[in-house]
Structure 1
Amino acid sequence: MSTAIDDALLQLTTALTRLEVAVGQRFEAERDPSDLETELAIMGEDRARLAAELDAASARLATVEAASDDVGHRLGRAIAAVEGALVPSDGLR
């Protein structure tokens, strides 16, 4: 008997899902065109803002990468200098 109830619940869930989809499609079809224009304008503004933020982040990344390269080179020179100071000049240890 629980199978019949489970089947009925599945059919009900399926029917409700189809009804929700149909209602959503109906609302979309009846939507005011000015709402769509407003939404497109907002999306355009968001896109422009995100593009500007991406450009700024890319510039900051380039600055950080350049600084990282510089630090890496300086660190390499410092390591070489310390190693040079620790190794005896006559090659004996």
Structure 2
Amino acid sequence: MTPLLDDALKRLDVALGLLEAALSRRLEAERRRGDLETELQLMQDDRARLAVELDGALTRLHRYEAAADDVSRRVRQAIGSIQAVLVQAGQLEPEEG
């Protein structure tokens, strides 16, 4: 081959190598972008699921708090009733105040 043709083939080979490298980088960037979009979607799904679970937990908490308040009120009433009976029976001194 002639030196001119050899030089042209070398330049073509280098250009093809650069093109292949650029294509490889582009494909890798697209793959990573797809991975990030998938990861983002998974995170959004997790967030939605956790929000539903949190709402349920808050609802249960409010029910438990209401039940605890009711039990506390009933216990105070029972204590008051028992104290009143003991005072009437002379087993307990009346409270001041």
Question: Above 0.5 in TM-score?
Answer: yes
Q: State the TM bucket, normalised to the shorter chain.
A: 0.5 to 0.7
Question: CA separation in 2, counterparts of 1:74 and 1:40?
Answer: 50
Matches within 5 A, 1:1-93: 30=29, 32-88=32-88
Question: CA separation in 2, counterparts of 1:72 and 1:78?
Answer: 10
Shift of 1:32: 1.5
Residue aligning to 1:9: none
* Higher radius of gyration, 1 or 2: 2
Deviations 1:16-60 (A, max 9, x none): xxxxxxxxxxxxx95610000000000000000010010000000
Q: Which structure is richer in relative contact order (CA contacts within 8 A, separation 6 or more)?
A: 2
The one-letter code sitting in structure 1 at the alignment partner of 2:50 is L
Give percent identity, aligned residues only: 50
Tell me the C-alpha RMSD between the 2 structures: 2.3
Gaps of at least 5 residues in structure 2 are: 1-27
Shift of 1:89: 6.9
| Alignment coverage as a number of residue pairs | 64
TM-score of the pair, normalised by structure 1: 0.62
Runs of 4+ with >6 A deviation: none
Gaps of at least 5 residues in structure 1 are: 1-28
Question: CA separation in 2, counterparts of 1:49 and 1:80?
Answer: 47
TM-score of the pair, normalised by structure 2: 0.59
